[in-house]
Structure 1
Amino acid sequence: MIFMVKKIGFLVGSLREEAYSKKVALAFAELFPDGYETELVEIGHLPLYNQDFDDVAGMLPEAYTPFREEIKGYDAFVLVTPEYNRSYPAALKNALDVGSRPYGANLWDGKPVAVISQSPGALGAFGANHHLRQVLVFLNMVPLQQPEAYIGNVHKLLNEDGSVKEEKTTEYFKTIVDAFVQLIESTEQPE
């Protein structure tokens, strides 16, 4: 039997270099078991989606093709987002749009996905998490339902370098990763 490494793409909603979302993503990425490879997927360079890019010859932005090829290579995704005005950031929505177009070429289709939202406030970006999940339904992704991941008071959970302060937080993060790994394995398609 050939053992295949599963590739997990992490998309981070915030473009800020020192974003809590990025730090949370890196903390989660370290918790995946052997047999899983995790990578951050860059989304900040993607021009805003315009259907003309796909419909009119010669208009496709240079960044779209390598991004779409990269997305094809992942077995599952983890989306880590802050909350902007009770929703998730435009950069993340744009990446989802670019990967779902042109119509009929949805690269997200059938892929397992975990949504992790975080905020310095107590609600853990609840609004962003739920708005994002609505879009994932339309994209026909397979979301992790439980446990839900709302990381509130994130600034109290992480050290300056992004490492997790307390073992109980790491244990909570690990329960989410373990549940996601089970989802990935249960939705695996035979070769």
Structure 2
Amino acid sequence: MNAFGNGEVSTVESLPDADEWGETRSKIVEWHDPARPARKARELDGLTYLRSILDGSIPAPPIASLMNLRFLEAEPGRVVFALDPDESQYNPIGAIHGGAVCTLLDSVAGCAVHTTLPAGWGYTSVEIKVNYIRGATRDSGALSATGVVKKAGRRIAFAEGEVTDSQGHLVATATSTLLVFEVPPPS
């Protein structure tokens, strides 16, 4: 059974005339070893760490390259990222997949919380609720996402995120609950 549940398995050879569908496209994704920046994250407070990604002294995480994410701003309790949409993020009906938008929102919510944490502390998403307002395509231009901490607790933090397109139209919003914890030292 294939991903669309009709029981048929399709291969490249079974596609109709390739000229009808255009040239095959590809995307190259490159990244640095993520373990090294993660070790650095344990040594720096969250705001300093994210600002180090912004200034290029620490490489962005691999998800940034995969998803075409750019880190734009980091302040205490607030971050701004951009997602440059491309066709590799499309769903079956020709729009940016909701999972890509959710990933963007999860990233800004988490990183907003990260800006409030001391060295040696981390976070993970416990829950995220996304409201999709309008679809986006590559023609929507860069999607801008802002994450803001609503409450930074000792064990649980609450953050919100908002995504707009290049025209300023609201694309999606999210509320997120995150677990905050001390990162154990490497063994």
TM-score of the two chains, using structure 1 as the length reference: 0.26
**Greater relative CO, 1 or 2 (CA 8 Å, sep 6+):** 1
* Structure richer in helix, relative to its length: 1
Task: Name the larger-Rg structure.
Answer: 2
TM-score of the two chains, using structure 2 as the length reference: 0.26
* Structure richer in strand, relative to its length: 2
